[in-house]
Structure 1
Amino acid sequence: MGQMVNSVNGSAQRYDFARARKGLALAALLAGTALSVGLPGPILAQAFGFGSVTVEGNERIEDSTVLSYAKIGQGAVSGGELNAAYQRIVASGLFEQVELVPQGDSLVIRVVEYPTVSQINIEGNRRIEDEELMALVTSEPRRVFNPQTAESDAAAIAKLYEARGRLAASVTPRIIRRSDNRVDLVFEVVEGGVVEIERLSFVGNRAYSDGRLRRVLQTKQAGLLRRLISRDSFVADRIEFDKQLLRDFYAARGYVDFRILSVNSEFARERDGFFITFNVQEGQSFRFGRVTASSELSQVNAQDFLDVSGIDSGDTYSPADVENTIARMERLALRKGLNFVRVEPVISRDARNLALDVEFKLVRGPRIFVERIDIEGNATTLDRVIRRQFRIVEGDPFNPREVRASAERIRALGYFASAEVDSRQGTTPEQVIIDVDVEEQPTGSLSFGGSYSADNGPGLNISFSERNFLGRGQTLRFEVTTGTDSANTDLTFIEPYFLGRNLQFRFDAFYNIADLDEASYNTRVVGFSPSIEFPIGEDSRLQLRYRLSKDTISNVDQGDPDDPTDNGSSPILQAEEGSRYTSQVGYSFSYDTRRTGLDPNTGYLLRFGQDIAGLGGDSEYIRSTALGVAQTKVYNEEVTLRATLEGGSINAINDQTTRVTDRFFLNSNQLRGFAPLGVGPRDLNATNRDALGGNAYVAARLEAEFPLGLPEEYGITGGLFLDAGSVWSLDNVEGAGGVEVDDDFHLRSSVGVSVFWTTPIGPLRFNFAKVLEAQDYDEEQPFNVTISTTF
């Protein structure tokens, strides 16, 4: 690949590996270059007789070792045997030069040994650390130097730079001669510049715009953040992955005839960028036509299996829907005790109506059993973490579809850089062995950073997270978040398979303090909460939990006794000052179709939960909350529409009253245009008109997100929103004297625009709101910045 400079006593000698390889190959072919020029030729046709064979020039390597490679003894030797001996000695990789010199009745084997590598260094690299590059080097100190190995190492380093978008990078291996036949091996790196994607374009697309398709690809155009992200650099291997992403995107939308005709990559004239063009043929979008089921088995009722399909005629055709239906049907067969039942889809095309009729045939599959499951490559992760992703065990009927699904579950864990699951014949034709080959990747992270929110101001974040704790598949997370007005410390432990079952056990411990500018009191909440969560349906889950906390309200402004006009905070808050233990049990039911729904552009999330306090502790109440979210994409998926409705109520029992730490508030994400603690009942007679919270709340949000016409690589889109909500109801107004609290239901509302910006630190959202309806005592906030969450 390159040349090495041999520095000997201050003089430099050039070592040309390309020429050396060519010379060695020629010598091996002709057997004349390496032999003494005094030999009469042609050599291959001659015979020689040697009474002795000697070795010269070797220092570290014994004569017997050289002779064992040569395999030439005394007596008659042909020219072909000499040539073969030469090739064996060269192939040993121990010698820089080899000569076979006949001298009368003696054969002299003259060799020059390769030097020993003293040390290995990498120079010129700035973008990639030495440790990462040295991991690619197979040459080793205190081993014999091999030029082919050195060149292979240089090629591996150059390939890593190519994967980082630096196609112009070059790596040259060089050696520096030292005494005692030793050399230093140095890889000189010229990194060059990043070759970026200047333009990603498409030809032949009609249903979806270039911008929508660019959002599908992993490769991105170079934009404002080109120095912070690497997905805008050209990586040839990524193109194949992008092609598969495009196929999956169109297939999920009914384009069964979609094809990628070609992908053209053109180098810019300045050789600093690529222009990539995908030439596609979309075809037509098909829908499901008639969906039927039939059975070749007398004991199987096809209608029972059709009832679990979940596919309706007229739905957009998707191969994923067919696969999901097959999986549901085969699981139903197992529940019915029907082994070796396979579902084969038969698809018929109705080109006139752009429909695909699907018949699910239930047939008897081959009687093949799982002999064993072999797992390799997991140095840290325990076998059971991988094995529990399989729904089958040794001795169960073999189901290829279930094995593929298990492979996807293993990859979805995020513990492995790659995971391959294959099957092969076992000890008998009726058995198979499932091979799992994984490559582990780092699963822990330690981060330090800053944050900002309109509710808590600027803050500092320190977090540690390990998603595969001790190789057991457990999650351990510790996080400290400080802000201008608050500080939160949280410890979380998650065991996804509690007691070896599909039960997620979670334990949270927390210590939260708040000293808000919007309130003349402080709060401190410390406690813990264990919970268990498990699926009760394909899209639904149930969580059972317990929570014990100590809730403290302190530093409530008592007013100035010498100033009759300063009565401080509301008597309601003054009465609530102090600590109270809360012991509660609760549950949450959730129904989520965002990942498993049939429509890739529409999703729903429904959640309902209740908590009952009073099993010990000082608080007694029943809290109920509900949330509903729906999202869909329209106008060829260019515009996202989202609707959110949430609410809750808390009812004290046994003649108790709620406290400010129990009641509901609306933050600036739930009701934009208003400050934190900006709405809800207030004591208008108090000097400090603190928000008291309410025993009931409701909030509704309608949102639209759409492109602004800016280049997609900038990651900037726009949005509109309409928010409405209210907090109301108190149960301790009458018991506090001198209060004037309006705790009736008053609807607040606002409209506004949003700017979404996708950055390496997270998706930011800038909201500009205009309040439409408010009470005189409400506090408004027309602008805020938040981390945008995705539905």
Structure 2
Amino acid sequence: MSRHILSSLAALLALAVPVAAQQTGGGAEVSAGAAWSSTRGAIVGIGLEGENILQSGIDLGLEYREGEKGQDGRLRLRYVHEMGDTRLGTDTRLILSGLHSRSNWDDDGYATARSRLGLAVSARVAPRVRVHGGVFWQEDAIDDIEIDTSPLILSEQGHSDTAGIELTLSFGEIDHRQLPGHGQMLDLTWTNAFAGDRHFDSLEMNAVIARRLAPDWALSLRLGGGAIEARDGQSLSIYDRAFLGGKAPRGFGIGGVGPRDYLADVTDTALGGSRYVLASVELRRDISERFMMGAFVDAGSVWKLDGAPVGAGGPVDDSYDLRSAAGLSLYWKTGLGIVNVSFAAPLSHRQHDSLNRVSLNLISSF
């Protein structure tokens, strides 16, 4: 049986398994389920999502999955203190956030962990303009590197941290960020990481335009891109590079777009890049209050590494090359977010890209 047929069965089985969810009080919801995939085998998972728990201003997100070939988990906390109208603007908020995640799957070739803390202030400075600025600290780690992983990853093994400031300007209004039906939004984010082990600057742009063509039909256009540059004579770490694939563009595996260290039967490791672009056009129809379907065309590219990296497969090709795919998507609204199943046919790709014609993702609302 081909891998693509197995992937299709994985998505169908994941949807067929009943999901148990119940209100725990205080705005929290628990969800549990099971799935199966051709690369990771049987997987069971549990999640907890809470918003403004016990009217405390605390939001909570907890996800854990485990299978015969690995596990991953993520804990997210956020405290929002509403300050009302201040000299900074209207609807001012003080936001304290924390995240810890860890992933260790056999097909990745190594385990990763991330801890992040942030303190920010957000305010509306004009009717359709919001400013969000603050400081952050982040620690990352790579360990349990397998023998067939690119030697370029070995130099990143261990722990390193970074800290700095972030500033986001948001223009416009959109009715729903994950499933937009009407409105337009432009986010510009500048990051300056100047402390810790890793120093870099980044500038990212994300734009969404959506219009209702009829009560049950919506057309949306998404555009994104970014540039990341190492500072102070450093090389850009794999922790800070951009990776595409999985959720965007659909039709490609996680990290499936962009520079790779590939040598047949030796290594096949995604390396990311310091430049990226994304675009997506989707026509979506509401089937019911909780179910939707859409047709889409996605495109994207990641490119540019520091220097002239040489891996197990020789010199790494980090040139620009736009990939694209077209397909159909199904959406299911749950308490933990939106479950998205996509069936995609790649239109343009490179020989060693990681393709994923059927994908199953949870788009968290946190």
Q: Scaled by the length of structure 2, what TM-score is found?
A: 0.79
For residues 110-259 of structure 1, the aligned pairs below 5 Å read none
Please state whether the residue corresponding to 1:515 is helix, strand or coil.
strand
Q: Residue 543 of structure 1 aligns with which residue?
A: 132
> Which amino acid in the other structure matches residue 189 of structure 2?
G
1:473-492 matches, within 5 Å, as: 474-484=56-66, 485-492=71-78
Q: Does 1:494 align with 2:74?
A: no
SS across alignment from 1:751? strand
Is it true that 1:582 corresponds to 2:162 in the alignment? yes
2:101 aligned residue: 512
Alignment partner for residue 637 of structure 1, among 212, 215, 220?
215
1:267-416 matches, cutoff 5 A: none
Confirm whether residue 660 of structure 1 aligns to residue 223 of structure 2. Answer: no
**Structure with higher RCO (Cα < 8 A, 6+ apart):** 2
What residue is the counterpart of 2:326 in the other structure? Answer: 751
Look up the match of 1:103. Answer: none
Q: Secondary structure at the match of 2:315?
A: coil
Q: Is the 8 A contact 1:463 1:477 kept in 2?
A: no
Matching of residue 552 in structure 1 with residue 137 in structure 2:
no
Q: Secondary structure at the match of 1:731?
A: coil
> 1:430-478: CA deviations, max 9, x gaps?
xxxxxxxxxxxx7432524347698998453343635265x5xx41133
Cα-to-partner distance string for 1:470-518 (whole Å, 9 max, x where unaligned): x5xx411333211244211222211121897742111112221111344
CA contact (8 A) 2:261 2:313 kept: no
Match of 1:785 in 2: 360
Contact 2:262/2:313 (CA < 8 Å) preserved in 1? no
Post-superposition shift, 1:526? 1.6
Q: Using the alignment, how far apart are the partners of 2:345 and 2:49 within structure 1? A: 39
Give the 3-state SS of the residue equivalent to 1:666 in structure 2.
coil
Question: Whose Rg is larger?
Answer: 1
8 Å contact 2:116–2:139 — kept in the other structure? yes
Q: Against the structure 1 CA distance between its residues 601 and 649, is the aligned structure 2 distance closer, same or farther, given a 3 Å change threshold?
A: closer
| Contact in 1 for aligned 2:49/2:335 (Cα 8 Å) | no
Secondary structure, counterpart of 2:235 in structure 1:
coil
Write out per-residue CA displacement over residues 179-214 of structure 1, whole angstroms, 9 at most, x where no aligned residue: xxxxxxxxxxxxxxxxxxxxxxxxxxxxxxxxxxxx
The one-letter code sitting in structure 2 at the alignment partner of 1:625 is E
CA contact under 8 A between 2:263 and 2:312: conserved in structure 1?
no
2:134 maps to amino acid: R
Q: Secondary structure at the match of 2:308?
A: coil
Gaps of 5+ in 2: 1-19
- Contact 1:685 1:740 survives alignment (8 Å): no
Q: CA deviation at 1:730?
A: 0.6
- Does residue 674 (structure 1) correspond to residue 257 (structure 2)? The answer is no
Change in Cα spacing, 1:716 to 1:500, as seen in structure 2 (3 Å) is: closer
Answer yes or no: is the 8 Å Cα contact 1:518–1:677 preserved in 2: no
Partner of 1:463: 48
Amino acid at match of 1:592: G
Quote the Cα distance in structure 1 between the aligned partners of 2:92 and 2:245. Answer: 33
- Following TM superposition, by how much is the alpha carbon of 1:528 offset from its aligned partner in structure 2, in angstroms? 1.1
CA deviations 1:364-414 (Å, max 9, x no partner) are xxxxxxxxxxxxxxxxxxxxxxxxxxxxxxxxxxxxxxxxxxxxxxxxxxx
Name the residue aligned to 1:593: 173
Q: d(CA) in 2 for partners of 1:682 and 1:468?
A: 43
Tell me if 1:698 matches 2:277: yes
Contact 1:519/1:691, CA 8 A, preserved across alignment: no
Distance in 2 of aligned mates of 1:664 and 1:451:
30
Alpha-carbon distance change, 657 to 674 in structure 1, aligned in 2, over 3 angstroms: same
Deviation at 1:577, TM superposition (A): 1.4
Which of 183, 193, 206 is the matching residue for 1:613?
193
Inter-CA distance 633–449: structure 2 relative to 1 (3 Å threshold): same
Name 2:118's counterpart in structure 1: 529
Matched position secondary structure for 2:61: strand
Larger strand percent: 2
Change (3 A) 1:450 1:443: same
Match of 2:267 in 1: 688
CA separation of 1:789/1:751 partners in 2, compared to 1, >3 Å: closer, same or farther? farther
Q: 2:228 aligns with which of 626, 650, 661?
A: 650
Distance 1:671 1:531 in 2: 30
Paired residues of 2:243 and 2:255 also in contact (CA < 8 A): yes
Q: Quick one: which amino acid aligns to residue 555 of structure 1?
A: D
What's the counterpart of residue 447 of structure 1? 30
**In structure 1, the residue corresponding to 2:153 is in which secondary structure?**
helix
What's the offset of the Cα at 1:643? 0.4
Give, as a single letter, the amino acid of the residue that structure 1 aligns with 2:63.
T
Asked if structure 1 preserves the Cα contact closer than 8 Å seen for 2:29 and 2:335, the reply is no
- Between the two proteins, what is the percent identity of the paired residues? 24
CA RMSD of aligned residues (A): 3.2
Q: 1:520 to 1:732 in 2, by over 3 A?
A: farther
